Amino acid sequence: MQELLPAIGSSVFFDLLKSLLLLFLLLIVRTVLVRSITRNQTLTIEAKRRWIVTIRNSMVLGLFMGLVVIWAHELEAFAVSLVALAAALVLATKELILCWSGAALRVGGSVYAVGDRIQLGAYRGVVLDHDVFATKLLEIGPGQTSHLYTGRIVVFPNSLLFTNPLIKESPSQEYGLYVLSVPLQSSENWQVAEQALLDAAKAECAPFMDQMGRQMKLLEQRNLLEAPSPDPRITIQFPEADRIHLVLRFPAPDRGRSRVEQAILRRYLTAVRN
């Protein structure tokens, strides 16, 4: 027994030494990679940020797997006890496990990445960062119809991916179709307002209609589906008995739809007020 204790102590010491060496090597690799990416002039700022986040998460995963391999023989001695301990930990760390599972869902399903504009429940914004626990957003608002940055940072746990539907507002395409609703009183001349809104949309969307049409054709060929027409269209809704909503669907650049939307509204208001 006395001979066994020094052997166990020596084994633990070498495992600890190997763990520290692994951590040191991973830190060196991460530092070299981050510096090379930062100095790469061919990459955009968004691409650099995406690569840095990927490298950091990969290093954390590599450290975890390396520690499991290094300490595996030590863990074997406690296998039976770990079963009972694991059951207790599952109950005590349910939310953490859901966060890790949400991160696995995000990675496995390529749900979203840094730079994507998403909406999850009440949270809406541009993805700034994500890890195994949470996702950080630059908030867009106020409300669900505005496209302005509020300047606030929103952090939500990855577990919300299992309880809320995710809306990806920037589907990795340069142009998209968006919706704008204009309310009217039922006593107003809705035909004049409809024509003014449609004319305003056609005038503001004309510069990029050709590019939008080519993108829709590529989308149709790639996904084997009938892509919608990119031309601006208006549908009429009755949310209340004495109100009319003119719902405009219009194309716009993914990074400039707020500008296009505001230009359409200003041109429309100028037309109906004159």
Q: Could you report the per-residue pLDDT of 192-238, keeping only the tens digit for each?
A: 999 999 999 899 888 888 888 787 777 767 666 666 778 888 889 88
Judgement on whether residues 94 and 127 belong to the same structural domain of the protein: yes
The answer to whether residues 180 and 166 belong to one domain is no
**How confident is the model over 26-53, as pLDDT tens digits?**
999 999 998 988 888 888 888 888 898 8
Q: Closest Cα to residue 274, out of 201, 198, 192, 205?
A: 192
For the chain, the farthest-separated pair of C-alpha atoms sits apart, in whole angstroms, at 99
Helix (H, G, I), strand (E, B) or coil at 155: strand
Q: Report the amino acid identity of residue 252.
A: A
Specify burial of residue 170 (Cβ count, 10 A radius: 0-12, 13-18, 19+).
middle
Domain containing 102 — which CATH number? 2.30.30.60
- Structurally, the chain folds into a number of domains equal to 3
The domain that contains 237 carries what CATH number? 3.30.70
Residue 60 domain boundaries: 1-76
The predicted model scores a pTM of: 0.55
Q: How far apart are CA 210 and CA 63, in angstroms?
A: 50
Q: What is the dihedral of CA 203, 267, 262, 197, to 10 degrees?
A: -70
Given a contact cutoff of 8 angstroms between Cβ atoms, the answer to whether 168 and 154 are in contact is no
